[in-house]
Amino acid sequence: MSLVNIASLPLMRRSFDWKPLWNGLFGTRLNTALTVLTLAFLAWLLPPLAHWLVLDATWTGTAQDCAAASGACWAFVTAKLRFILFAFYPQDLQWRPTAALLLLLGLLGVTALPRFWRRELLIAWLLVVGLCWVLLTGTLTGSPVPSNQWGGLPVTLLVWSVCFGLSVPLAVLLALARRSKMGGLRTLAVLFIELMRGTPMVAILYVAMLILPMAIPGGQFVDKTVRAIIMITLFWSAYVAEVVRGGLQTIPHGQEEAAKALGFGYWRTMQLIVLPQALRQVIPGMVNLAIGFLLATSLLAVIGIFDLLNAARASTTDPKWLGFYDEAYLVAGVIYFLFCFGGSRYSRWLEARLRAGQRS
Amino acid sequence: MATTEIVLGRDRPGLLSRLAGWWGPRPFIQLAVFVAVVALFWLLGANVADTMRRIGVTPGFGFLERSANFEIGESVIAFKAGDLYVWAILAGLINTVKVAVFGCVLATILGVALGVAGLSGNLLLATLVRWYVELIRNTPLLLQLFFWIALAKSFPPPRQALSAFDALFLSNRGVFVPGIIVDGFSSRTVLLLVAIALSYGLYLYTAYRRRRLRSGNGLAATFVLLAAAGAAFPATGATLSLDMPVLGGFNIRGGYSLTPEFAALLAGLTVKFSAAIAEIVRAGIQSVSRGQWEAARALGLHPGQIMRLVVLPQALRVITPLITSSYLDLTKDSSLAVAIGYPDLVSIINTTANTTGQSFEALAILIGIYLVLNLSVSALMNVYNRRVALRGDVSR
């Protein structure tokens, strides 16, 4: 065995390779022209943006100070950030949505790590979601807060996680029914899935607002947020079902036949053999779907629920800080972007990791 | 070793056994589920009807023939308060189709341009496109629409309108673009145009059937079409002229004006879906393996030919179904118009439901229209996919 002086390896000594970068920018005549054009575009775009964002911006002060300056009004953001995050939740009880938000974020972080994927995590989600609900309603601590005063990021995250969590088991059943040999169930599943996928989410939310109160006995007493959650869950389950079906299709038929030969019944075959493999296949797809769903929760604004986006919009109607749309939407946009961009990066990492796990 | 023969299919001929075979195992449990679902919907429906009767509304579609007492901000067909509800809903549907069609066209143009720019091999441009796509993809469409409508409303009044090349004016009363005016339009012009279009279609179809359709003769035929159509106007006494918007007095006259709501919705949908289409184009072109490029280059094809003859036909197999589902998503997402005040189908349906109390019927119409739209496009798509799919593809 020969010892290798690591420092002497050519790889380690070589300085940064400029060649690909140079070729990528000025390699051909076309590339040079494109680079120059792009630089011209950036030179046109960036200075006004920098002026607005930083140089001419107002960092502290009142709306009058902001109106005097030509840049962004970050003083508005410091003044209204609480409102954008928690909307009309009573200010003296603000610890409740804060705690709910932290709980949800913490659990989301834990869930992202595959090493915690076990049964206890499901129980933790049930507990945390229940706890968040209790925290926001405040039934245990006295001074209850009705759900029309809830708002902001906790509501966005709560509705998103509850709807997605509930839609997954429903979707698994739908996907199994759609691939079943039983024609009647198959037809029902296809009808449901195509109905939901062919309808815009706004229409589904209107059903939650207008039809559900009439259709369920005593429905007009059911909370608006709960009604929205019911319909969104049904709506999303159709999309999740199609992804799960994609996973089921990747499992070779021989697996099912082998299980049958071993004397397994349908449910045991599915539960122990097919679904664990199929669901593992679709985890990255599910993460992508979940990102799309988080963006879709912004539609709650249409039916007047104060989710993050609607709270940002409402913050611009404060008479003291009237009309700072750009700043409010920028803050909400940054929050959405952080979640979704982070999520898509995570999905890519997860896909690579799962593939590596499969190979070994 | 004896082999057992597996018999696939029905044991007895006849319609009934075919039905039984389709219905599959556990027939009675399935029947019970079916009955339960029907009963559930019947129960919910009965509740809805009860509630409607209690609040004094007769269930049914009779309200369509009553007059609607609201105005519609903008409409292609003439509509005024007092016209029938059915015309209001039709006006909404036309508005939805209008924004969806323009949105699809513009999003495709922008998306393909961005997708190609991302693959141009220029690092700076590709990075810029990458960030554009990430930024647009990871923020909600509704937020972008709120931004666009705030922007459209914050433009200066017409007198100080921002203008580009004296052709495009941006003002808080709307966006003004050049329009085309046709004068002296007669039935002869229409007939001639239809005849030209028909012969163009016939030529393309026969060439396609005889497998002689190449991009060369297709392009030539298109030029002939355009030239013939251009000549058809003066030949029949019609004149075409460009109508430029001009600033005059307190307003902008001439041209074609887009309301701020329409402009904002169109901009939002175009930008949002251009990012999706750019990604689809990129994925489609990258799905063609490098070996194909290298083989084509070895055969002496130049880059344009490689793209047109080798890469695009294969990439389109990946691109077309994805882009179609993008178009469907765009049409469905145009329903967010209701949040920024553009009178699309959803917005009119919402007003109808609120003014008549017949929310059930109104939403049934809404969902029915979207379903028909979606399912017909999906059906067309399946036909197309069957045509372009690889022959003898193992996956089918």
Tell me the pLDDT tens digit for each residue of B153-206: 888 777 777 777 777 788 877 888 877 777 766 777 788 888 888 888 888 888
> A295-312: per-residue pLDDT in tens?
999 999 988 889 999 999
A88, part of any domain: yes
Q: Give the model's pLDDT for residue B373.
A: 87
Average pLDDT over residues A254-282: 90
Cβ of A215 and B44 within 8 Å?
yes
Percent of chain A with pLDDT over 70: 95
Q: How far is A335 from chain B (nearest CA, A)?
A: 9
Instruction: Choose between B146 and B8: higher pLDDT.
Output: B146
Q: Give the model's pLDDT for residue B392.
A: 47
Give the domain CATH number at A185.
1.10.3720.10
A69, part of any domain: no
A8, part of any domain: no
Of the candidates B107, B110, B79, the residue with the CA atom closest to the CA atom of residue B93 = B79
A11, part of any domain: no
Q: Give the model's pLDDT for residue B90.
A: 92
> A164-174: per-residue pLDDT in tens?
999 999 999 99
Mean pLDDT for all residues in chain A: 86
Interface check B172 vs A, CB under 8 A: no
Question: Is A336 a residue whose pLDDT tops 90?
Answer: yes
Q: Give the model's pLDDT for residue A106.
A: 92
A26, part of any domain: no
Question: Is A360 a residue whose pLDDT tops 50?
Answer: no
- List helix spans (H) across chain B: 15-23, 27-54, 85-118, 123-137, 141-153, 187-209, 215-235, 260-286, 290-298, 303-305, 312-333, 337-340, 345-356, 359-388
B147 and B71 in a single domain? The answer is yes
A246, part of any domain: yes
Q: How many domains does chain B have?
A: 2
Choose from B4, B143, B325 for mutation: most chain A CBs within 10 A.
B143
Of chain A residues 61-80, which have a CB less than 8 A from chain B? Answer: none
Of the candidates B336, B365, B362, B335, the residue with the CA atom closest to the CA atom of residue B350 = B362
**Among A15-29, A113-127, B169-183, the range of highest mean pLDDT:** A113-127
Residue in chain B closest to A344 (alpha carbons) equals: B138
Question: Is A337 a residue whose pLDDT tops 90?
Answer: yes
B56-93 in b/e burial notation, b at 16+ Cβ within 10 A? ebebeeebbeeebebebebbeeebeeebebbbbbbbbb
Average pLDDT over residues A179-193: 90
Question: Is B395 a residue whose pLDDT tops 50?
Answer: no
Q: Quote the CA–CA distance of B274 and A345 in Å, as a whole number.
A: 21
B283, part of any domain: yes
B279, part of any domain: yes
Of the candidates B261, B354, B364, B342, the residue with the CA atom closest to the CA atom of residue B95 = B342
| Contacting residues for B331 by C-beta, under 8 A, at least 6 apart | B96, B100, B104, B370, B373, B374
Residues of A in contact with B339 (CB under 8 A): 301-302
Of the candidates B24, B48, B139, which has its C-beta nearest A183's C-beta? B24
Percent of chain B with pLDDT over 70: 91
Cβ of A199 and B371 within 8 Å?
yes
Question: Is A13 a residue whose pLDDT tops 60?
Answer: no
Interface check A211 vs B, CB under 8 A: yes
**Among A26-40, A99-113, B59-73, the range of highest mean pLDDT:** A99-113
> A192-214: per-residue pLDDT in tens?
999 999 999 999 999 998 888 88
Of the candidates A188, A194, A200, which has its C-beta nearest B335's C-beta? A200
> A210-250: per-residue pLDDT in tens?
888 888 887 777 888 899 999 999 999 999 999 999 999 88
Instruction: Choose between A8 and B394: higher pLDDT.
Output: A8
Interface check A218 vs B, CB under 8 A: no
Question: Is B299 a residue whose pLDDT tops 90?
Answer: yes
pLDDT band at B396 (very low <50, low <70, confident <90, very high): very low
Residue in chain A closest to B55 (alpha carbons) equals: A214
Q: Which domain covers residue A353, as residue numbers?
A: 74-359
B335 and B295 in a single domain? The answer is yes
Q: Give the model's pLDDT for residue B1.
A: 41
CA–CA–CA angle B347, A229, B327 (5° rounding): 45
Interface check B120 vs A, CB under 8 A: yes
Q: How is residue B288 annotated by DSSP?
A: S
Cβ of B44 and A326 within 8 Å?
no
A80, part of any domain: yes
Instruction: Choose between A59 and B338: higher pLDDT.
Output: B338
B88 and B135 in a single domain? The answer is yes
Report chain A's C-alpha Rg in angstroms.
26
Q: Give the model's pLDDT for residue B62.
A: 82
Q: Give the model's pLDDT for residue A188.
A: 92
The domain boundary, picked from B64, B79, B111, lies at: B64
Give the domain CATH number at B95.
1.10.3720.10
Residues of B in contact with A231 (CB under 8 A): none
Q: Quote the CA–CA distance of A97 and B219 in Å, as a whole number.
A: 63
Q: How is residue B83 annotated by DSSP?
A: S
Q: Give the model's pLDDT for residue B81.
A: 81
> B228-265: per-residue pLDDT in tens?
877 777 777 777 777 777 777 667 777 778 888 999 99
B270 and B333 in a single domain? The answer is yes
B113 and B145 in a single domain? The answer is yes
Q: How far is A141 from chain B (nearest CA, A)?
A: 35
Q: Give the model's pLDDT for residue A82.
A: 87
Question: Is B31 a residue whose pLDDT tops 60?
Answer: yes
Residue in chain B closest to A183 (alpha carbons) equals: B23
Of chain B residues 305-364, which have a CB less than 8 A from chain A? Answer: 332-333, 335-336, 338-339, 346, 349-350, 353, 359-360, 363
Q: Which domain covers residue B57, as residue numbers?
A: 37-64
Interface check B14 vs A, CB under 8 A: no
Of the candidates B106, B107, B119, B101, the residue with the CA atom closest to the CA atom of residue B312 = B119
Q: How many domains does chain A have?
A: 1
B47 and B96 in a single domain? The answer is no
Q: Quote the CA–CA distance of B364 and B349 in Å, as a whole number.
A: 10
Of chain A residues 2-21, which have a CB less than 8 A from chain B? Answer: 21
Q: Give the model's pLDDT for residue A261.
A: 93
Question: Is B3 a residue whose pLDDT tops 50?
Answer: no
